[in-house]
Structures are given as structure tokens and as C-alpha cells.
Homo-oligomer: A and B are copies of this chain.
Amino acid sequence: MPEPTLSRDELAGLLSGHFAEFLNPASGVTIEEVSHGSARVRQAFAAGMLRPGGTISGPTMMALTDFTMYVALLSAIGWVPLAVTTQLNINFLRRPEPVDLIAEGRLLKLGKRLAVGEVVMRSNGQPEPIAQATSTYSIPPWR
């Protein structure tokens, strides 16, 4: 995988302009690390994410997955905001604790037109994954 084209701070700045509904001071989303086609993103826990049984909602985890993969992709190809997700598959493995979510994404393949990445998600401080996902991106000409 190539060296990151965009640093963590550059990406956070660009994304908070373009994805203001997701990456804003109230959303609780922080890009913690960006490196070599990979990214770690934290979603702070909030009571509104809870579902019956005390579990965190699937859509919260799916939104975090999608965003983490997008950050990992842009860290490698630079600012190509029109890259679009074409497919996403997620396995919900364990019941998340009512704490922050930590998502780690990395590219499995970076082609000229398609990229595929994997995200593994954990409850903060827990070793076992709560979700695992792969997704595919269609990339407009970028090289």
C-alpha cells in the first residue's frame, strides 16, 4: 500500500467540510489514525444509539464502517470525494457494550477502478470484534 497522500489532519479538515452531518463536534466521530491505506475511527457512545436490550443500533455501526473505509481509501488515493461505495457486507458478531466504538479499516486491494477494504470494529477496551465488514468502492479516474 502506498504512503498516505493526505494526513489525518488534512483529511479531517476536508471531510468535516463535505460530510458536516457526520463529522462535526456533536457527532462524536474522531479520526484517530491514518496510515498506509488504513484508518482508525472512534464513535463516542451516546444514549441515542441504544436499541432494545441495551445494544448499539446496527445503523450506527454501518455508518461508522462506511466512513472508516472511506477515510482509509482517501488516505491512499488523495482527495477523490466522488469515489462511491458499490457494495458492503457486514457481519454483526457480538453484542456491543454501551461504550465508544473503535473501527479499524484497511484496504485489501487498491486497483485503478475498484478498491476493496475491510473494517473490524470493537467496543472500546475489548479484544473481541463486535462486527466485521468488507466493502467495494468504484473510483473515478485518479492516477
Contact = CB atoms under 8 A, between A and B. Distances in A.
A47 to B, nearest CB: 9
A90 interface: yes
A87 B21 CA distance: 26
Interface in A59-109: 59, 62-63, 66-67, 81-82, 84-95, 108-109
A41 interface: no
Given A62-B59, A93-B109, A108-B129, A114 B134 contact: no
A125 interface: no
Contacts of A51: 18-19
Given A108-B129, A132-B108, A91 B62 contact: no
A87 B118 contact: no
Contacts of A59: 22, 59, 62-63, 66-67
Contacts of A88: 58, 62, 89-90, 92
Interface of A: 18-19, 21-22, 48-49, 51-53, 55, 57-59, 62-63, 66-67, 81-82, 84-95, 108-109, 113-114, 116, 118, 129, 132, 134, 136, 138
Given A19-B51, A59-B67, 6 more contacts: A63-B63, A87-B91, A93-B108, A93-B109, A114-B138, A132-B134
